[in-house]
Amino acid sequence: MKEISCKLLVVGAGPGGYVCAIRAGQLGVDTVIVEAKKPGGTCLTIGCIPSKALIHAAEEFEAARLAAAGKSAVGITLAEPAIDLAKTMAWKDRIVGRLTTGVSGLLKKANVKSIHGHARFRDGKTVEVETETGTQLVRAETVVIATGSVAVELPHLPFGGAVISSTEALSLTAVPESLAVVGAGYIGLELGTAFAKLGSRVTVVEAMDRILPLYDAELSRPVAKRLAALGVDVILGAKASGLASKGGALVVEAADGATREIAAEKVLVAVGRRPAVQGWGLEELDLDRAGPFIRIDDRCRTSMRGVYAIGDVTGEPMLAHRAMTQGEMVAEIVAGNRRSWDKRCIPAVCFTDPEIVSVGLSPDEAKAGGREIRVGQFPFSANGRAMTRHGEDGFVRVVARADSNLVIGIQAVGQGVSELSAGFALAIEMGARLEDIAGTIHAHPTLGEAVQEAALKALGQALHI
Ligand code: FAD
Ligand code: NAD
């Protein structure tokens, strides 16, 4: 058995692991990273990037279909368009390929040794990797567990055949005539909307009494309205209980016990993700758990000395930028720098139609924490740029402390608002007050002006409403 030693071993090359390894390598730490599949992990290969590629293709196709139906608001006419989903997927795969190759290149440039294979812990300092050329033993002073997460499977709807997870949905080569989606969260609504635009008849089944229960009702309302306009049937307060024995329709059970069947060519189950804690020797380690996740402290240290954990395997929010930030921090710590988690906010973006952004506290969360707050909300219907983009539904909302005007939350719903998220996070991270946002010149005409106006409104000085 081949054997190597290193200072730092990172298991998993998703956004958490690869960022950790790159920064460690840049800081001169002798680093090895092990990945069983492709560098980039869930995010680059089967998550964030492929889904956004599909969403973009679906938006373009929908605009063309509207034009062909004589419904283009901007006066474009077209003959009936068609989509070749196999070509769309090939385009998506080329983007993924460029990004995963890019990650490999960055790891190499930072002098990180990459091993392709499945890692299994023998103990907290030793890992066996099954590679194509045999088993390799890696001994390390410090290890980082960055194994990520996997889709939750429903016992009565196991994946296989017509029942698919987001991974298979992002590899379909033909648009299903009908699609039933179980779960109206991030994945269910991002992909459900995309397939509705591509021409599938989509039905969404959600256990809670509203869509996107993670966000407040005011933010999710424009999304619900748009789903209705796209012809998506949303069944709330209901659970999928399996496939009918005859015909394979999805059986849905309402809260009162009534059942109904939904005929669907494919059933996308998107009811959450769980940490990847099986199959790599967790039982050989003595790690405390926080529910299903690995428990960490504010430096991503686990309960074992020299063992860190980052990303989805450590808990919510399971977002790529949280994993990356943790990875970068751990690399700095391993290199001897004093770092701990000191972030004021982790932005969340839902790439539905319209998009939702939430950074910091919502008004309800702030009030629940006992704070006196000031809220300013500005609608996109009064924003020139939103009108010229034909995306007037939605608003920007700024939440500030009533005593100091310190901004503690900014949320928005509207077309294209994902790109505003950086400014929202910057304002909160830098401790902006309402006056700072209101007093910053925002270029005209842009969606960003709505942020300035929301701050002005909270100060009682709105100009355009
Ligand atoms: P992962 O990206 O899951 O990477 C873990 C890696 O570890 C994998 O490559 C795996 O193969 C490897 N691994 C596991 N065990 C072993 C082992 N024993 N040996 C070797 N390798 C191993 N987040 C966002 O912020 N924005 C989005 O728009 C977004 N969209 C998403 C869309 C979809 C469809 C999905 C499924 C997720 C999306 N996410 C999004 C979530 C995001 O993908 C995750 O939060 C992120 O990938 C977590 O990074 P990670 O490094 O913790 O783990
Ligand atoms: P989710 O937690 O966002 O949504 C799951 C939904 O399924 C919830 O609304 C829940 O109430 C519902 N549900 C649960 N069990 C059900 C059942 N038996 N029947 C009907 N409904 C049921 O989970 P997801 O959409 O699978 O996404 C997983 C994770 O991936 C997200 O939490 C997020 O961390 C990440 N993600 C992020 C993005 C983004 O940042 N834009 C996009 C996709 C995924």
Task: Encode pLDDT of 375-399 as tens digits.
Answer: 999 999 999 999 998 889 999 999 9
Task: Encode pLDDT of 78-98 as tens digits.
Answer: 999 999 999 999 999 999 999
Nearest to 400 by CA among 390, 411, 408: 408
Ligand at shortest distance from the CA of 188: 2
Q: Out of 40-44, 130-134, 193-197, 390-394, which region has the weakest mean confidence (pLDDT)?
A: 390-394
pLDDT value at residue 396: 98
pLDDT value at residue 446: 97
Integer angstrom CA distances of residue 164 from 38, 103, 268, 392: 21, 28, 5, 35
pLDDT band per the 50, 70, 90 thresholds, residue 39:
very high
The answer to whether residues 335 and 382 touch, using CB atoms and an 8 Å cutoff, is no
Dist. CA 38 → ligand 1 center (Å): 11
Pocket-testing residue among 20, 22, 35, 43, ligand 1, by greatest number of atoms within 8 A of Cβ? 43
Integer angstrom CA distances of residue 49 from 46, 86, 90, 435: 7, 17, 13, 36
Please report, as a single letter, which amino acid is at residue 402. Answer: A
Give yes or no for residue 274 CB within 6 A of ligand 1: no
Given the structure tokens 């009918």, which residue do they identify?
A: 244
pLDDT value at residue 311: 98
What are the two backbone dihedrals, phi and then psi, of residue 87, each rounded to the nearest 5 degrees?
-70, -35
pTM (predicted TM-score): 0.98
- According to DSSP, the residues that pair with 150 across neighbouring strands are 274
Q: Give the tokens for residue 194.
A: 């995309």
Average pLDDT in the chain: 97
Distance CA 93, CA 171 (A): 9
Using DSSP, state whether 204 is helix, strand or coil: strand
Is residue 122 scored above 90 in pLDDT?
yes
pLDDT (average), residues 103-109:
98
The answer to whether residues 267 and 182 touch, using CB atoms and an 8 Å cutoff, is yes
pLDDT (average), residues 315-342:
98
pLDDT value at residue 389: 87
pLDDT value at residue 397: 98
Give yes or no for residue 207 CB within 6 A of ligand 2: yes
pLDDT value at residue 16: 98
pLDDT band per the 50, 70, 90 thresholds, residue 426:
very high
pLDDT value at residue 390: 82
Dist. CA 208 → ligand 2 center (Å): 12
Q: Exposed (0-12), middle (13-18) or buried (19+): which is 3, by Cβ within 10 Å?
A: exposed
For the question of residue 56 being annotated catalytic, the response is no
Contacts of residue 173, defined as CB under 8 A and 6 or more positions apart, other chains included, come to 85, 86, 89
Give yes or no for residue 252 CB within 6 A of ligand 2: no
Give the helix/strand (H/E) hosting 329.
Answer: helix 320-334
Task: Encode pLDDT of 148-183 as tens digits.
Answer: 999 999 999 999 999 999 999 999 999 999 999 999
Distance CA 9, CA 280 (A): 14
Nearest to 19 by CA among 106, 139, 98: 106
Q: Give the tokens for residue 51.
A: 């889904």
pLDDT value at residue 255: 86
Is residue 191 scored above 90 in pLDDT?
yes
| Parallel, antiparallel or unpaired: strands 407-414 and 355-360 | antiparallel
pLDDT value at residue 247: 86
pLDDT value at residue 24: 98
Is residue 465 scored above 90 in pLDDT?
yes
- According to DSSP, the residues that pair with 233 across neighbouring strands are 203
Give yes or no for residue 185 CB within 6 A of ligand 1: no
pLDDT value at residue 320: 98
pLDDT (average), residues 355-361:
98
Q: Give the tokens for residue 225.
A: 């309205």
Ordered structural domains, the chain, with CATH: 2-46+89-150+274-334 (3.50.50.60), 163-270 (3.50.50.60), 348-458 (3.30.390.30)
List, in sequence order, the alpha helices (H) in 69-144.
Answer: 85-109
The answer to whether residues 236 and 211 touch, using CB atoms and an 8 Å cutoff, is yes
Residues in the chain: 465
Task: Encode pLDDT of 449-461 as tens digits.
Answer: 999 999 999 999 9
Is residue 272 scored above 90 in pLDDT?
yes
CA atoms within 13 A on the CB side of 264: 31
Distance CA 75, CA 242 (A): 46
Catalytic member of 321, 442, 444, 464: 444
pLDDT value at residue 166: 98
Using DSSP, state whether 331 is helix, strand or coil: helix
Contacts of residue 267, defined as CB under 8 A and 6 or more positions apart, other chains included, come to 157, 162, 163, 164, 179, 180, 181, 182, 240, 243, 250
The answer to whether residues 70 and 79 touch, using CB atoms and an 8 Å cutoff, is no
Is residue 32 scored above 90 in pLDDT?
yes
Give yes or no for residue 187 CB within 6 A of ligand 1: yes
Is residue 1 scored above 90 in pLDDT?
no
pLDDT (average), residues 354-360:
98
pLDDT (average), residues 414-424:
98
